[in-house]
Amino acid sequence: MTGTLYVVGVGPGDPELLTLKAARILREVSCICVPKGREEGSSLALSIAAEAVSLDGKEIIEAHFPMKKTRDAKHGTELDEKWGRTVETVLQRLNAGADVAFITIGDPTIYSTFFYLYDRLLEENPGLGIEIIPGVSSVNASAARAKVSLGLADEKIAVIPATYAEDLKGYLAAFDTLVLMKVHKVFGGVLKVLGEEGLTGNAIYIVKAGMSDEKIFRNIRDVKEGDLNYFSLMIVRK
């Protein structure tokens, strides 16, 4: 009998933010697949899981596909080869009857690399049993740590990878709350736009929500270059 592939969100960093279901599945599976990329965060998923649950004796498969993959590069040969190997290994274990957990930081449906793999797996075996276990995303965790609501009543929320600051004014006008992902890459530009719109005081910058080295800036002018990293986001609340 073929095993089930569980895609498990391990939450934003605090091991206690795994769900009961994620913890149970990690205890039960014999094999854990973890994305290994060039970007930070790949090995973090495994260390979060290991803090919550003993992984002794489990096989760890490292899926070597780049985290920075974009849709344009979808058919790049190098990526396809790396994926091919990952897909093959995962399918071998499933076909041998083992359940496999593919772990991902935060929630699997929010900017997780798993969905790139998903189509390939189903191409190979359309009948594959796949279950996605939702997790606490860094968006919700950051808002919780900053003690700010993302939305009340009929308010509108936009979650935007802040790769281009120039569109920001339109989003600021149209939404009650903006969550700017990857904001560390364009921090200066965002600061400038917020200043022009008189919204600097409405922004909170959160680094590593819920982790031991968490930082929360309620005055974003205090953010130093060393505070700009992958595990950060900004919430602008009008």
The verdict on 130 binding its own copies (CB under 8 A) reads yes
- Bridge partners of 231, per DSSP, are none
User: In this structure, what are the phi and psi dihedrals at residue 210, rounded to the nearest 5 degrees?
Assistant: 80, 0
Q: H or E element: which one contains 47?
A: helix 42-52
The C-alpha atoms of residue 10 and residue 136 are separated, in whole angstroms, by 8
Q: Could you tell me which stretch among 66-74, 92-100, 199-207, 222-230 binds its own copies (CB under 8 A)? A: 66-74
> Nearest distance from residue 224's CB to its own copies, in Å?
26
Residue from 65, 102, 175, 217 touching its own copies (CB under 8 A): that is 175
The verdict on 66 binding its own copies (CB under 8 A) reads no
The C-alpha atoms of residue 143 and residue 119 are separated, in whole angstroms, by 32
> Nearest distance from residue 17's CB to its own copies, in Å?
5
Q: What does 157-224 look like in DSSP terms, one character per residue?
A: EEEEE-S-GGGHHHHHHH-SEEEEETGGGGHHHHHHHHHHTT-GGGEEEEESTTSTT-EEESSGGG--
The verdict on 49 binding its own copies (CB under 8 A) reads no
Nearer to its own copies, 1 or 153 (CB): 153
> Nearest distance from residue 27's CB to its own copies, in Å?
12
Nearer to its own copies, 74 or 221 (CB): 74
Q: Of 186-215, which residues contact its own copies (CB under 8 A)?
A: 210
The C-alpha atoms of residue 111 and residue 117 are separated, in whole angstroms, by 13
CA 212 distance to own-chain centroid: 18
Residue from 1, 56, 57, 71 touching its own copies (CB under 8 A): that is 71
- In the complex, the residues that contact its own copies under the rule CB under 8 A are 9, 11-12, 14-21, 23-24, 52, 69-71, 107-112, 115-116, 118, 130, 132-137, 140-141, 143-145, 147-161, 163, 170, 174-175, 210
